[in-house]
């Protein structure tokens, strides 16, 4: 990756040569690892708008072109032709599996979908009205207290088992969080169901009536999992990497990622976006909200709009928009006012100079809530579904980091702007 090319930093008459590292594709990077040692200065980049925190082979995003590749495969092709567990294999191992590899992987995941029976007790400690993301942070973190045979991160086999367990059990835990919140009994995973159908069954079946997941809805659910599977070094993935860099328990690291994803600026935006669309309520009220979104003195933002990286359409939003039409049509939902508001809001915003000049486009969270709501999920389950989908991305990135011999604990510095040194004053003299 290193190249003879370099950048020179000249400071107080002193020059430091900084190597330029070349990517497969995308921006080159200035390697500043020796900067502090050679020039006694830090770089300053709150929010990491210009900082590459690592090198990775997993996901590539081109924000200007609106492109997203998992291991080089465009998301549009994977969403159309692949399915989530095959995408999990691809993200974890770097290549698409052959038939035998895929069957073996699906079997391994399927036979890890149950959680330890004692974990059911954790839910009893939560209030019924706890947000499912709160219960998921707690219960996934508690996995670190149960699966001691897959927490030695120095053992590649244990790292592998932890990855399979997390991919397999997150849907079960998310469904349990949902069932607990509505006072219904937990539903065990069924090994004869595919991954998405199993999740729908664990969420929507009840002992009182037979429930058969609709294959078309399961396909749409599976596509949503695929669209959310990984996304380079976003906030929650960076959280998992930073937590993992200290050698922390893999389950605890994923719990940290879930906590970060919950924020409305990140994965929590899918819940906030649908609630915003429902608050707008009708197409004629859109101009009022567009005005508020542009008002610097108004904290209101168009949730599901804008992105740190995409300055063009989020390719996932395009697929999600098509899927919204399909699912509503499948469910016989005509004239869905929320979808109408979403489409009109997108149209008006993309013709408005404020959004065009700031390159604000719908992101992955803008349409997903419409589909999930139509499927019968409450808004509080939108981010848990994002979290279970993203678990494979988090764990693939975590495995890549742990296996990297250059891996070291992440420890940023700061620009200190606090008080100078001063002596203690006793309270009687203050
Ligand atoms: C996800 O990083 C990832 O990859 C995340 C994700 C993933 O898969 O992991 O893609 C998932 O988190 C998608 C993003 C979901 N969040 C939202 O939809 C919340 C609404 N969007 C924003 O809060 C915002 O756009 C962010 C947080 C997504 C991005 O923020 P940035 O990159 O820090 O950009 P910014 O806040 O500096 O905004 C740039 C300008 C600002 O105006 P100025 O100060 O330059 O005048 O655009 C404005 C902002 O005020 N702006 C918006 C806006 N988003 C940005 N104005 C109105 N509505 C919005 N949604």
pLDDT digits (tens, 9 = 90+) for 361-410: 999 999 999 999 999 999 999 999 999 999 999 999 999 999 999 899 99
Catalytic residue among 297, 365, 404, 423: 365
Q: In sequence order, what are the residues at sequence separation of 6 or more whose Cβ sits closer than 8 angstroms to the Cβ of residue 320?
A: 224, 227, 364, 366, 367, 368, 371
Nearest atom, ligand 1, residue 305 CA:
60
Nearest atom, ligand 1, residue 237 CA:
9
**Cα dihedral 62/63/65/70 (nearest 10):** 40
Residue 2 has pLDDT above 70, yes or no: no
| Confidence tier at 29 by pLDDT (50, 70, 90) | very high
Mean pLDDT across 304-319: 93
Residue 1 has pLDDT above 80, yes or no: no
Confidence (pLDDT) at 127: 96
The answer to whether the CB of 230 is under 6 A from ligand 1 is no
Contact (CB, 8 A) for 161 and 146: no
Confidence (pLDDT) at 289: 94
Confidence (pLDDT) at 87: 98
Residue located nearest, by CA, to atom 45 of ligand 1: 358
3-state secondary structure of 382: helix
Ligand 1: residue of 307, 314, 367, 389 to mutate (most ligand atoms within 8 A of CB) is 307
Residue 237 has pLDDT above 90, yes or no: yes
pLDDT digits (tens, 9 = 90+) for 322-344: 999 999 999 998 888 998 999 99
| Confidence tier at 148 by pLDDT (50, 70, 90) | confident
Range of weakest confidence among 25-34, 60-69, 85-94, 305-314 = 305-314
The answer to whether the CB of 305 is under 6 A from ligand 1 is yes
Mean pLDDT across 162-180: 98
Confidence (pLDDT) at 349: 87
Confidence (pLDDT) at 4: 77
How many other C-beta atoms are found inside a 10 Å radius of the C-beta of residue 246?
10
The answer to whether the CB of 311 is under 6 A from ligand 1 is no
How many other C-beta atoms are found inside a 10 Å radius of the C-beta of residue 322?
14
Contact (CB, 8 A) for 84 and 332: no
The answer to whether the CB of 374 is under 6 A from ligand 1 is no
Mean pLDDT across 117-140: 96
pLDDT digits (tens, 9 = 90+) for 175-191: 999 999 999 999 999 99
| Confidence tier at 135 by pLDDT (50, 70, 90) | very high
Residue 3 has pLDDT above 70, yes or no: no
d(CA 143, CA 140): 5
Q: What's the sign of the alpha-carbon dihedral 56, 57, 58, 64?
A: positive
pLDDT digits (tens, 9 = 90+) for 408-428: 999 999 999 999 999 999 999
Measure Cα distances from 356 to 18, 306, 311, 344, 359 in Å: 36, 11, 10, 16, 5
pLDDT over 90 percentage in the chain:
93
The answer to whether the CB of 253 is under 6 A from ligand 1 is no
Domains detected in the chain: 6-52 (2.20.28.60), 74-266+380-401 (1.10.580.10), 268-375 (1.10.230.10)
pLDDT digits (tens, 9 = 90+) for 40-89: 999 999 999 999 999 999 999 999 999 999 999 999 999 999 999 999 99
The answer to whether the CB of 164 is under 6 A from ligand 1 is no
Catalytic residue among 307, 314, 353, 423: 307
What is the model's pTM? 0.95
Rg (CA), the chain: 23
d(CA 35, CA 49): 19
Reply yes or no on whether 62 is catalytic: no
pLDDT over 70 percentage in the chain:
99
The answer to whether the CB of 318 is under 6 A from ligand 1 is no
d(CA 127, CA 181): 8
Confidence (pLDDT) at 306: 93
What is the overall mean pLDDT for the chain?
A: 95
Pairing between β-strand 67-70 and β-strand 73-74 as defined by DSSP bridges: antiparallel
Cα of 305 vs centre of ligand 1, distance in Å, is 7
Assign residue 306 a region: left if phi > 0, alpha if psi is -120 to 50, beta otherwise?
left
Residue located nearest, by CA, to atom 3 of ligand 1: 234
Reply yes or no on whether 404 is catalytic: no
Q: In sequence order, what are the residues at sequence separation of 6 or more whose Cβ sits closer than 8 angstroms to the Cβ of residue 286?
A: 280, 341, 344, 345, 348
d(CA 66, CA 350): 15
d(CA 61, CA 57): 12
Cα of 307 vs centre of ligand 1, distance in Å, is 5
Ligand 1: residue of 264, 268, 301, 306 to mutate (most ligand atoms within 8 A of CB) is 306
Burial (CB count within 10 angstroms: exposed 0-12, middle 13-18, buried 19+), residue 241? buried
Residue located nearest, by CA, to atom 54 of ligand 1: 306
| Confidence tier at 27 by pLDDT (50, 70, 90) | very high
DSSP summary character for residue 420: P
The answer to whether the CB of 363 is under 6 A from ligand 1 is yes
Residue located nearest, by CA, to atom 5 of ligand 1: 234
């Amino acid at each position: 990756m290193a190249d003879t090319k370099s950048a020179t930093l000249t400071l107080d008459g002193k020059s430091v040569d900084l190597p330029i590292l070349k990517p497969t594709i995308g921006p080159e990077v200035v390697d500043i690892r020796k900067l502090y040692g050679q020039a006694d200065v830090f770089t300053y980049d709150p929010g990491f708008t210009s900082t590459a925190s690592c090198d990775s082979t997993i996901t590539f995003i081109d924000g200007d072109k609106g492109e997203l590749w998992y291991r080089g495969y465009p998301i549009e092709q994977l969403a159309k032709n692949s399915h989530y567990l095959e995408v999990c294999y691809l993200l974890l191992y770097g290549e698409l599996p052959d038939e035998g590899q895929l069957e073996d992987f699906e079997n391994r995941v399927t036979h890890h979908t149950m959680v330890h029976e004692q974990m059911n007790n954790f839910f009893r400690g939560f209030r019924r009205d706890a947000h499912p993301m709160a219960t998921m942070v707690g219960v996934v973190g508690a996995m670190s207290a149960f699966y001691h045979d897959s927490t030695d991160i120095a053992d590649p086999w244990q790292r592998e088992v932890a990855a399979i367990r997390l991919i397999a059990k997150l849907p079960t835990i998310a469904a349990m969080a949902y069932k607990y919140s509505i006072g219904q009994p937990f539903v065990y995973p069924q090994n004869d169901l595919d991954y998405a159908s199993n999740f729908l069954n664990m969420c929507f079946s009840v002992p009182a009536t037979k429930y058969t997941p609709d294959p078309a809805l399961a396909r749409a659910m599976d596509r949503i999992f695929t669209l959310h599977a990984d996304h380079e070094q976003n906030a929650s993935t960076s959280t998992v990497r930073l937590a993992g860099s200290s050698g922390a328990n893999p389950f605890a690291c994923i719990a940290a990622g879930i906590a970060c994803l919950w924020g409305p600026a990140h994965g929590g935006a899918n819940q906030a976006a649908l609630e915003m669309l429902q608050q707008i309520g009708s197409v004629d009220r859109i101009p009022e909200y567009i005005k508020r979104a542009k008002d610097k003195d108004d904290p209101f933002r168009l949730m599901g709009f804008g992105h740190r990286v995409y300055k063009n359409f989020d390719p996932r939003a395009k697929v999600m928009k098509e899927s919204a039409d399909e699912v509503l049509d499948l469910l016989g939902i005509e004239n869905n006012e929320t979808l109408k508001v979403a489409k009109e809001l997108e149209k008006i915003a993309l013709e408005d100079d404020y959004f065009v000049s700031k390159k604000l486009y719908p992101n992955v969270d803008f349409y997903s809530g419409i589909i999930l709501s139509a499927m019968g999920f409450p808004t509080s389950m939108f981010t848990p579904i994002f979290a279970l989908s993203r678990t494979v991305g988090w764990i693939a990135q975590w495995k890549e980091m742990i296996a990297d011999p250059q891996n070291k604990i992440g420890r940023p510095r700061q620009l200190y702007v606090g008080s100078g040194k001063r002596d203690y004053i006793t309270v009687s003299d203050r």
